[in-house]
Structure 1
Amino acid sequence: MNVVYLIGIVLAIVFTIFGIIVGISINPGQTPMFEFSFTPSSLWNFFDLSSILIVVGGTLAVVIACYPKLARSFPKHIKIMLRAKAFNPAEYVEQLVELAQIARKNGLLALEEKANDQADPFFKQAIMLIVDANDPDRVRSILENDIEQTSARHQEVVAMYERGSNAAPAFGMIGTLIGLINMLKSLDSADMESLGPNMSVALVTTFYGSILAHVIFNPIAANLTARDEEEILCRQIIVEGIMAIQSGENPKFLRERLMTFMNQQQREGSGEGERQTKEKKGRKKGKA
């Protein structure tokens, strides 16, 4: 699970609530210098059903109107975002090196069995394309086109949440205008009792719009973008690895070449994973 995202959201909510209910006054040269006051009842000042309907309802309506098909997949997007890192470049490098070793010993046809064991449909497709002895240029063209189309679909989903992030403050401003208009209308009739509630709606809607945009929609868009980058990186590694296997490249050189796609931290993790794999194989041989 994406624990960092959950921690960030929880901290944002906690600090906001803390700022609402806790008052801190500084008295230089006095004892105590800091005075704290706790007023939990202040939270009720930030609850207004009309404001919630204007901001949340209006924002969701705009998102659904702009992206009617994608909006139905909201639970799926949340599941993807909360999922732990699903694409590990180091694992793909190790699998490709193993495939290169098999291909050099037994030929490309020997990779068909490995292809059937693959859970990643893109990886399986890439292996089968070279097993079927397709032209290298054609193989690369098919795989790169698949990557481009996948990224385009991902970016459309990200754009939906960015649209929501832009719409939320706009509806907050709409709520502010509604509150101000009602407040000014009440001044003509000298109805001072409605002045406070109308002004509250005017300000609270702006607050809701900012929270919805920067605590809900923006983090979702950012996390989905990160997931897209992880998947595209792994697919680029697969393409380069598959093309190298088809051309008969040495597995050792292949590993070094594919490692250039990863940053230093990922490379170190890959080295550790390779070392653990060798140790496991050594223990199995010893038991045998």
Structure 2
Amino acid sequence: MNVATVIGFVAGIIILGTATYFATDSARVFLNLPGLAIVLGGTLASTFICFPLKEVARVFSIFLTALKREELPIGNYIESIVDIAREASMRGKVHLEKTLPGIENEFLQNALQMLVDGYSREEMKEILETRIEQTYQQELSSAGIYRTMAKLSPAYGLIGTLIGFIGLMQAMGGGQLASLGQHMAVALTTTLYGILLSNLFFLPIAVKVEKRIEERVLLMCVIRDGVLFIKDKTPAAIVYDKLKAYLPPRRWASIGIRP
């Protein structure tokens, strides 16, 4: 689990809640259930209009993705690919075919299967790059859902505020001057809800998911190049050095010893 994300959410809620408590004589004035319903309901309604039902249904799973660990174990995959390159050069495709059922990563398994089946280098490169691009576009649309919600929630917060002001004007027309302050507070809290949801939840989740997508695409590029190196019968030591270049120097230690 990504501890930093959980700490950020919890710390943000605690800090804002504490500041709200000490900023007013009655913190209950910030509780506006109709306003919250307007912001959440309106945001979800517009999101359903913007995206297909299947994509919107993935909103919760996308949130869980943002809570996962920040970096994929790319170093471990580099080690595995280097081992496969060494074994392939020593024992050939027959041994490589026997190792396929034990590979959990579907992209790596499919790439090695093409290698065993005798695809040409150009065919393998074209197919793998197409899969990488399709994966990137599909996953990026998931992050786009939260970016859309981040744009919509402040607008619905403003709509809720306008609705509240209409009630305020009605109170003024009815001579209920004593309740004007309460009506004003309720109206403004709706805008507050919209801004908070946008900047504390929706937008940070979108950024987290986008970074996760970058990590996944980087891993797929490592696998693509590694399998192509195996196809070219590149020595394992050279495969190690070339794939290691995908990672920043601070993560080189996670790969292990050079073969």
Query: TM-score, normalized by length of structure 2?
Result: 0.94
Match of 2:44 among 55, 60, 73: 60
The yes-or-no answer on 1:184 pairing with 2:169 is yes
Name the structure 2 match of 1:253: 238
Name the structure 2 match of 1:202: 187
* Amino acid in the other structure paired with 1:62: S
Aligned counterparts of 1:78 and 1:168: Cα–Cα separation in 2:
17
Superposition deviation, residue 50 in structure 1: 1.2
Unpaired runs of 5+ in structure 2? none
Superposition deviation, residue 139 in structure 1: 0.3
Q: Identify which of structures 1 and 2 has the higher relative contact order when contacts are C-alpha pairs closer than 8 Å and 6+ apart.
A: 2
Aligned counterparts of 1:109 and 1:196: Cα–Cα separation in 2:
80
RMSD of aligned Cα (Å): 1.7
Superposition deviation, residue 123 in structure 1: 0.7
Match of 1:139 among 124, 132, 135: 124
Name the structure 1 match of 2:26: 42
Unpaired runs of 5+ in structure 1? 24-38, 279-288
Superposition deviation, residue 200 in structure 1: 1.9
Mapping 1:25-36, distance limit 5 Å: none
Q: SS state of the match for residue 65, structure 2? A: helix
Between 212-221 and 107-116, the greater mean CA deviation after superposition = 107-116
Aligned counterparts of 1:97 and 1:181: Cα–Cα separation in 2:
68
Superposition deviation, residue 86 in structure 1: 6.7
Q: SS state of the match for residue 44, structure 1? A: helix
Whichever of the two has the greater Rg, that structure is: 1
Aligned counterparts of 2:216 and 2:116: Cα–Cα separation in 1:
24
Mapping 1:83-232, distance limit 5 Å: 83-85=68-70, 87-232=72-217
% of aligned pairs identical? 30
Q: Is the 8 A contact 1:179 1:200 kept in 2?
A: no
The 4+ residue runs of structure 1 with deviation greater than 4 A are: none
Q: Is the 8 A contact 1:21 1:42 kept in 2?
A: yes
Query: TM-score, normalized by length of structure 1?
Result: 0.85
* Amino acid in the other structure paired with 2:151: N
Name the structure 2 match of 1:33: none
The yes-or-no answer on 1:22 pairing with 2:22 is yes
Q: SS state of the match for residue 64, structure 1? A: helix
Q: Is the 8 A contact 1:108 1:246 kept in 2?
A: no
The yes-or-no answer on 1:7 pairing with 2:7 is yes
Q: Is the 8 A contact 1:147 1:235 kept in 2?
A: yes
Q: SS state of the match for residue 234, structure 2? A: coil
* Amino acid in the other structure paired with 2:233: G
